[in-house]
Amino acid sequence: MKKSLILAFASIALGIAAVPASAQVPETTFNLVAQPKFVNCLGTTHGPAPTAEVIVQRGELNDILILRAHNLKPNLAFDLFTIQNTNLESNGEVNPDFKNFGLAWYQGDVQADRSGETTFLIKLDPGSIELQGRTI
């Protein structure tokens, strides 16, 4: 049965900055932190904590975002959303003054494999707000 979770990891900033293409790095990588209240839903009991990293690759026409998640429950299925604002501080603690997540974008259905691993690709089209996401 498919579970529907709002992105349990910290927000992914997908904004396209008004910086000339020549000034942008071709690739950047960062880690995501699991929302404390969703760790038990995402991971296995007594197992390693769920983790995820993001790779953003700049392209001439499109940028690509690759999300790799590890230590999820085997075969876990959920809906992936990106959110504008996170309720987490830089140290992973919940911000007590947090107001709202802002805009949220549905990216697609994600399915972990039997080992609790998944890779999800999002093609960012700078000419429109449409994002195309798929599990790979």
Residue 7 confidence class, pLDDT cut points 50, 70, 90: very low
The token pair at 41 is 């839903």
Residue 8's nearest CA partner among 91, 97, 76, 98 is 76
104-111/27-32 β-pairing: unpaired
Q: What is the C-alpha separation between 9 and 28, in angstroms, rounded?
A: 18
CA torsion sign for 5, 11, 15, 21 is: negative
| pTM exceeds 0.75 for this model | no
Residue 81 confidence class, pLDDT cut points 50, 70, 90: confident
Tens digit of each residue's pLDDT (9 = 90 or more) over 55-78: 999 888 888 999 999 999 999 999
